[in-house]
Amino acid sequence: MDDFKRFREKVFALCNFPFVLTVTTKANILKLESSVLMREKLQLAFFRALFAGVNPPYLLLTIRRDYIIEDALVQLQHKSHEDLKKQLKVKFVNEEGIDEGGVQKEFFQLAMRELIDPKYGMFTLNDESRLCWFAQSPLEDELALDEYNMVGRLIGLAIYNGIILDIHFPLALYKKLALAAESQGDPSRLDEQWDLDDLMEIDPALAKGLRQLEAFEGDVLEAYDRTFQVEYESFGQTFQHDLIPDGVNIPLTNANRSEFVKEYLKFYFTTSIAKQFNAFSEGFHLVTLGSAIQLFRPEEVEQLICGSPDLDFNALEQITQYEGGFHAKSRIIRWFWETVHAYEDKDKKRLLFFATGSDRVPIGGLGHLSFTISKNGPDSMRLPTSHTCYNTLMLCAYSSKERLQERLMTAIGNAEGFGLM
C-alpha cells in the first residue's frame, strides 16, 4: 500500500519498475487503484451534493434488455473521464436485481456479445483462428464511429470494474493500444511495425499466402498477374485500395514482392482500420489512460481483459468457503466436487457463469477467486441458485447425488437473466 501511494505521487516506487512485478501483482495494484479512485469519486460526489445540488455518486446505466446497445450508447456517449471513474451500477428495466456486481457482469457479457458478433458488422471473425478483427471499411458513418468508441469504453470500464470478458482479439490489438498510449493520441508519433507472425495469429491462410509469395521461385509477374492494388468488401460492396501511390499501375514482380508484403501488412493492421481503431482507442484510453494499466505488457493486458484459460477446479475447491452448516467434508459437498470435477470444460464454464456471472478465469487462476457454497435449506426439488455479486452458490441439502446432479445441470443450463428466486 505504501509503495502504491508513492507510485501515485510519482516518486520512487517498485511500481515504477513493472518488469520486476508478476502479472498477478500488477492486477492487484490495478484493483487497489480502482477501489481507491472509486472511493474518492464517491466522497467527492457527496461533498459536491452538499453545495451544488444533485451529483450522482455512481456511474448508473439503466438498460432495456431489448435495446442494450442503444441504451448504453446514449448513456455513455457524453460521460466525462471523471464520470467513468465512478463505480459502475447497472439496472435492467423492470427487473428486481440490485447491482452489487452481478448485474453489471451480465450486462458486459450481453453487450460485448452483441457488439463483437460479425452480424453486427463492426468486427469480423476468422473461421480458422476464431479471433475477431476490425471490419475493413472506408468508414464515414459517425454513428458507427461512436459505437467503436463505446466498445473501447466498455472494455476500459470492464478493466476498471474488475470484470473479465469473453472476447477474442489478437495480441496485435493490445500492441496497438500500447503504442497509442505511448503516442499520447498523436498519430504522427506512432511507429507500428508488423510482420507475418502478427498476421498468422489472426488470419493464418492469408499469412501463408504471403509467405508463399515471398518464397516463390518462379516468375512472380507471370504467375500472380496482379498490381499493388487490393480489393476488400464492406457491407456487400467491393472497394479498391492502392497500397502505394498509383499502385493500380505498378505490377507485382520478384523485385518488389517484399515491398508488397510490407505495404499489405501496413494496410491490414493500420490503413484499412484507422478510423475504427482510433475511435476504439479513444474510448478505451478515456477510461484507462494515466492508470496502473501502464504497468502491463500487451500480452498481460489481454490476460487482464480475457482471463486465464486454465480451468483448474482443484484450485477452486481448495479456496472455497462454506456457510449455513456446510463444510468441506459434508456429504453434499463431496458429491458436488465429484460431480463438477467430472464435467467437461464447457459445463465447468457454465457453472462458473451461473455462480459468478462470468465464465472467465481471473489472472492467477481459480485459486485467486473468492467462492462460497452456502446451504439453502433441506432436501428439496428446488434448483440451486446463486448470488453472483458475491460469487456464492446456494445448494439445498439434496438427499442423493443423482438429484444434486440433475438439479445442478438444469440450473447451469438456464443461467442467463437476473432475478430473485
Contact residues for 196 (Cβ-Cβ < 8 A; gap 6+): 207, 210, 211, 261, 265
- Higher-pLDDT residue of 12, 104: 104
Across the range 394-420, mean pLDDT stands at 83
pLDDT at res. 141: 72
- Which pLDDT band holds residue 45 (cuts at 50, 70, 90)? low
The pLDDT of residue 23 is above 50: yes
- Higher-pLDDT residue of 192, 415: 192
Long-range pairs for 329-335: beta carbons < 8 A, 24 or more residues apart: 332/395, 332/397, 332/398, 332/404, 333/373, 335/398, 335/401, 335/404, 335/405
- Higher-pLDDT residue of 113, 308: 113
Amino acid in position 144 = A
Q: What are phi and psi of 165, to 5 degrees?
A: -110, 150
Across the range 198-224, mean pLDDT stands at 96
Q: Write down the mean pLDDT value for the chain.
A: 85
Lowest mean pLDDT among 104-108, 200-204, 371-375: 104-108
Structural domains of the chain sorted by starting position, each given as residue range(s) with its CATH number in brackets: 2-192+274-303 (3.90.1750.10), 196-269 (3.30.2160.10), 313-412 (3.30.2410.10)
The pLDDT of residue 46 is above 70: no
pLDDT in tens, 276-292: 999 999 999 988 877 77
For 368-384, b/e burial (b = at least 16 CB within 10 A) is bbebbbbbbeeeeeebb
Residues that are catalytic: 389
pLDDT at res. 361: 85
The pLDDT of residue 55 is above 70: no
Q: Measure the CA dihedral 338/342/348/354, to 10°.
A: -40
Across the range 215-243, mean pLDDT stands at 92
The pLDDT of residue 5 is above 60: no
From the number of C-beta atoms within 10 Å of its C-beta (0-12, 13-18, 19+), residue 270 rates as: middle
The pLDDT of residue 11 is above 80: no
- Higher-pLDDT residue of 105, 407: 407
Contact residues for 413 (Cβ-Cβ < 8 A; gap 6+): 350
Is pTM beyond 0.85? Reply is: no
pLDDT at res. 419: 38
pLDDT at res. 224: 94
CB 38 within 8 A of CB 47: no
Across the range 130-139, mean pLDDT stands at 88
The pLDDT of residue 188 is above 60: no
pLDDT at res. 420: 32
pLDDT at res. 42: 66
DSSP character for 388?
Answer: T
Residues of the chain with pLDDT > 90, as a percent, come to 51
The pLDDT of residue 192 is above 90: no
pLDDT at res. 24: 77
The pLDDT of residue 101 is above 80: no
- Which pLDDT band holds residue 254 (cuts at 50, 70, 90)? very high
The pLDDT of residue 3 is above 60: no
Taking the C-alpha atoms of residue 252 and residue 225, their distance in angstroms, rounded to an integer, is 7
Taking the C-alpha atoms of residue 18 and residue 14, their distance in angstroms, rounded to an integer, is 7
Across the range 340-363, mean pLDDT stands at 89
Taking the C-alpha atoms of residue 386 and residue 395, their distance in angstroms, rounded to an integer, is 9
Q: Is the dihedral of CA 106, 111, 117, 119 positive or negative?
A: positive
Taking the C-alpha atoms of residue 396 and residue 374, their distance in angstroms, rounded to an integer, is 9
